[in-house]
Each structure stands twice: as C-alpha cells, then as structure tokens.
Chain A
C-alpha cells in the first residue's frame, strides 16, 4: 500500500484531478442510465408491449425509451429550462426553482463537509437544521422588530441553535470519546421528537389549530426575494454563497482551518505538534452545526414561513451525499448542491407531469455517490484501461473518498 503511493506520488495530483472529473461525469451518466432503466422497466406501457415482446421487440424498446426519455425530459423542464412554457417567466422559472432548492443544501452540506475535513463524520445536519429552524421560527413569530434587525436576529438564532446541537456532539466526542456518528444519529431523533413536542405546546402551536404547525413568521423575519415576487429565490442564496467563500477562507487561509485539517489528517500528530485537538473538535462541530442551522433559517425564513414536523424535509441527509459528492471542498459542495437542487426541482416536475415517483431521484443520487467513491468500478464498467485502473485503485480509494481518514479518528474511538 505505502509503496504504491510512493511510486505514483509524482504524477498523482495531476492524474487524479483529470481522472476525478472524468469518473464523476461517468458516475453521473451511469447513475442516470440505471435510473432510466428502472423507469423504463416499471413503466406500464413497456409492460404492455413486453407481452408481445417476441412478436415485435421494437415496440417494447420504443415504449421503454419513451418512458425513460419522457421522465428525464420532464425533469429537465422542471430543473433547467421549460421550453414548453408560454411566457419568459415560465421558461426560466425552473432554473430559479433549482436555485431555491439548492439554497438550504449549500449551507447544510458545507457544515457536513467542514466536519469531514476535521475528521468528524457529521450525520447530524438534520437535527442541527431542525433546532435551527425551531429557533428561527420562534424568533420570527414572537418578536416584533424592524426589518433588517429582525431577520438578522432570526439567522443568528438559527445558527446558534444548530451550533448548540452540533456543539453537544463535539463536546462529547472531545471529552468522552463518544463516536460522533452514533451521537449525531441519536440527536437527529431527539430533535425530531423535540420539534413534535414543541409543536404541541402553546409556545409554538398556531392558536386555534389542532395540527402540529407553528404560527406564521412576521414579514420582517422573511428573507427578501432576490428576483421579485414571481420567483422563490431568496436572500438565503446570497448567504449560502457567502458561506461557501467563508468556509473556503477558513479552511485555506486561517490558522483554525489549518489546525482543523491537521486534526482531520492525523489527530495524534496534531496533538504532538501542540494543537489543542479538544478545542478544534468542539469548534469544528459548533461551526458545522451553525451552518446546518442556517439551512434551517433558509427553510423557515426563505420558503416555508412557518415550522412543521417536516420542515427539514430530508435536507440534512441529502447534505451528507452532497458533501461526499463535492469531496468536502467548498466549491465542490456548491456545485454538488446545485446538481442535487436540480434533481429535486426536476423530480417534483417529473412526478406531476409523468407520474414517475420522485423517489427515483434518491436512487440516482445515492448511486452517483457510490460510483464516485469507487472509481475502479466505474472504470471497469466503461472498460477503461484495466492495468492502469488496478494501479490507481489503491490510491484512488484513499484519495477520492472525502472522509475522515480511516484508521485515525474512526478507529480507537467508540463505534
């Protein structure tokens, strides 16, 4: 293993960068093909045509193609550009929906990515997001403040809530060695039930309603819409872009970021070098939680305007896949979040127009991440140079998997 890495070290950087984009592209194509096959095979028309498969095989194939292509075309119209729309607004509405869907994903995934870089596997974005959303909602409908102050307070409260929920994880990890994967999974559930409880108390529940929904937040607590009232794109997107730059700056230009990456790469060496690993671990989780909490603000102040049980949707879990796809680099996360936002927006359109369940999006997304994590598999499927692939296999699995390096933090702690 070590000898392989040494042998290839000289060209590794350049070679990986080139092959990574190719592998990512192929992984996306491969996942879309598998998704398309699934859509085609389960299609009713295909099933009808398949009954006389041997009499007229062309019918089955064309029905299958129609099903898959139809679904993907609907997805494209829902995510990028609707060429069937009558007005200009209708035509560009899909791409703005993609941006809206991507907004909470950007910050939540940045949180996951930041923790990854510090060697922490943060599965808890969902819980952190929920707590952020609860606080954002509470500040949003209880306080009566002028516009810029109120929204500022809402964002701060959301970040604080997320930071608190993430901070618990960091604290337990640093002080007791409790494995962050377990603690975050458990805290996700605690957050879900806490939200359900709060929505049944007079503190949160909408007066006169028996449903577990909160009051609607004041207008002063809502994010302004960037492109006017026709589109849902809100100020949270700008904050997301700022956060992307902020995380990049933190990781690449600041002392804390350097320490964070060092702890992620090798905690023992970092401690020997005089880095306070306890402090770094706690801070990393606090920051990760704050970013996820901001995604909660984006949900409450940007799109939903009130808090319900499903306020977090599955953003916190999607964020993990987004962070993995973006290889835990801020810019990569941004691109991956936009891609997943497009899948989400397109999936909604696809479900309403062709009746294909939106769940196919989950299948495609998870396949993309699996394939990207295993470049040798993608290479062998596409019949790329087998000898070279074998040589690169060991390196790739180490380098293209944006994770806490196994054998450092993961081992020896409690899992």
Chain B
C-alpha cells in the first residue's frame, strides 16, 4: 500500500484542475492571500502596535498546587505589539515577493503568520483589559473543552464530505446525540451506555441523510437543512412532553468524570491541558488521529477520497460508490453523536432545548477552514473554541472589546477563509452531487 500524496496538498491541488463551475475565471497567480496578509498586517500595525496599551500583559502559566510551578509571564504590550506587527509586515512582503516571482508560498508562512497574529491580538486585548492578568491554562483548557463537540462534528463533516456527501446536518447529529445520551444515561445510569446511545442518535440522523440524499437523490443541502429543523423540533417536543415532566427518570444522566494520566499530567502547561480530560476528551484526540490515518494512509481512505473527487472513475475501477458514501455518512453520524454527548454528560448533566446552539455550524466552518483535512479541522475547531472561551475570560478581566465582536470572530474568519483571503479552501470535487450509475 503506498500513498505518495502529501496530506496538505491533497484537497486544494486536485480540485484546482476542475474549475468549470465557478463564476470567476481561473487566476494563475492568486493575489487574494497576499491581500489578506496585508489587511491583517495593517490591523496589527494600527491596533496592536500604534494603539498598544502601556500595561504589561500577564499570563499565569500554572495554578497553585501544580507539581512544577512556573512563574507568570509578563509581556510589555507595546514592545511585543511592534515586534509582532513588524513580523507580520515582513511575512506580507515575503508573500508578495513570492507572488511576483511566481513562487509558491511555503506552508510554514501561513502558520507563522497566523500564530504571530493570534499572539499579537492576545497580548493587545489582555494588555488593554482592566485587569491585565489572565491564566493561560484556564484560557487554553477551556478552549479545548469548548472545541470538543465541534471537533467531533467537523470530523463527521470530513468523513461524509470526503466521500462526496455534503453534511449540513452536523448540528442535528450533535443535538440528537446529546438528547440520546441524556435519555439513555438517565434510564441506565451508566455513562458507557449513554455514550453508545449518543453514537446511535447521531447515526439515526445520518441514516436519514443517507436515505434521502443517496437513495432518493434529494439535494444534499436541502436534506441537511431540513434534518436540522426536524431534530430541533423533535427533541424540543420530546423534551416538553416527556423529559421535563419526568426529569428524574429521563433527564438526569450520570456525569462523565475526568481523570489524569499519572506522570504526564504533571508536565507544566501541557499536562493540565492534555492529560486531565474526560474519556470523551481522550477519545477526541484518538478520533482525530484515527480519521487522519485512515483517510490518508490506508487503502480504504484512498477509496473514500476517490469517491469524493471522481465517483465515476472510482466506479470504473470497481469501488461501490454509493455503499462507500452510506458507510461514511453513518460513521460520521456516530462520531458527531459522540461529540453531542459532551453537552449532557460533561458540560451540564441534563438536556435542554436546542442546547447545541449552533456548534454544528461552527463545526461546518471548522471543516472548511481546516480544508477538509481532519488535522486542519481539529486546529480550526480549537481556534474557534479559543475565540469563544476568550470572550468569557476577557469578560472577567474586563475588556474594552465588546463580547459580541469576540463571538462574531469565528464566523468572520470563516467568511474570509471561503473568500480565499486566507489561502485556498476547496472541497472534494464531487461533494453535493448524487451519483447515478450509467
């Protein structure tokens, strides 16, 4: 079994050959990323450097009682703002020079740029808060927790969209997963049964998606949109008629407890972040790794991607296109359903109406921002979890930036991403098209 493609180049490159449907003519040299870099550098220069607060931005790296206690990190906001802004300007100039010379931008450029921008923003926003002192562990740990359902959701999206089925129903999968975990957990008082129920809940939504989108060839986006409404209505109805009146019997699931991995949990910074999780938290890391490995390093993954890019070719070499799609959509549903159990087993231990509150759509955004790659989607979901958690942390620190704008950030960033200002983001070529043999 040999796969020679590099993982990062996979989606963008193959799709760029097929451009028949887009409205814009194909540009050989894409200026948009450079424009995006320029806008970001300008913002950094104006706000983070020129408009930098005079205070020190202090980040606490460990909490009292940790095995290794690190001193807090105090960063002068203005100096850091200028240095990072200069770095961003340099990166923009470098990208522009590459564009003029017709060279491709190296992969590390976007990563460095993104990290520098994020750091500059964080230092600026913390430095200008009333109390410029936050715990980095709380900030990042909370981000991972908030990102958890989105990671599972976006993995569900990766699995089904890579096989060519657009999955707008992530929200519904998460919600029914949360609902099923609550009911199953309450009846049996067993978290493991609750987790299985959650996965089954997600699979039910997936099965409907597969039935209508693959068997009856209904437009996949329509099915997804309508399924979200159906699940929202159904869970809210059952909540009102059954769960609310019988809360003790049907809506008091057991809690999934977190446990530390001995030794590893004592590593400074990383320990509390990665090795003090619930079972679901550890499952998340495992799931990301498995989906990545399965998609890019196995025969199965190659087939799935072939089905998503060029179903006819896949069919010609003997791959059963629609069966592959059904299986992938169902696995995706199980993954997203598991993620939904976060709401009722970890976050709060009861179900409530529409409690996923649009996380499924952020998962969709993470999927696109992460360019249909499990690792990309994972980091994008973390970024969105970070943005969400930052508004809570900053609300405590007392910031000048209105929390609503912080909350808007993931959505705005995604719009920039799909518009091509943050690099190309192209999906599997055949996603959205039903496959009819012949």
Contact = CB atoms under 8 A, between A and B. Distances in A.
A373 interface: yes
B419 interface: yes
B230 A362 contact: yes
A185 B22 contact: no
B42 to A, nearest CB: 20
A190 B412 contact: yes
Nearest to B217: A397
Interface string B65-93: 00000000000000000000000000000
Interface stretch (B192-200, B294-302, B361-369): B361-369
- Residue of B21, B212, B242, B433 ringed by the most chain A CB atoms within 10 A: B21
B222 A357 contact: no
A366 B226 contact: yes
B240 A181 contact: no
**Chain B binding surface, main DSSP class:** helix
A42 B21 contact: no
A149 B229 CA distance: 39
Interface string A361-385: 1110111011001101100000000
B405 A373 contact: no
A236 B192 CA distance: 54
Contacts of B236: 357, 359, 362
Contact of B233 (A175, A324, A361): A361
Contacts of A365: 229, 233
A182 B241 contact: no
Interface string A390-406: 00011001100101101
- Residue of B239, B412, B415 ringed by the most chain A CB atoms within 10 A: B415
Contacts of B216: 373-374, 376-377, 393, 397
Contacts of A26: none
B237 interface: yes
Interface residues of A, number: 70
A305 interface: no
B219 interface: yes
A148 interface: no
**Chain A binding surface, main DSSP class:** helix
Given A176-B24, A281-B23, A366-B230, A415 B219 contact: no
Interface residues of B, number: 64
Contacts of B364: 182, 185
- Residue of A38, A182, A370 ringed by the most chain B CB atoms within 10 A: A182
Interface string A257-273: 00000000001100000
A89 interface: no
A361 B425 CA distance: 38
A189 B411 contact: yes
A367 B227 CA distance: 9
A179 B402 contact: no
Contact of B432 (A187, A277, A410): A410
Nearest to B430: A411
A23 to B, nearest CB: 12
Given A175-B23, A176-B32, 4 more contacts: A1-B436, A369-B226, A370-B223, A406-B219
Closest 5 CB pairs of A and B: A412-B21, A362-B233, A357-B240, A359-B236, A374-B216
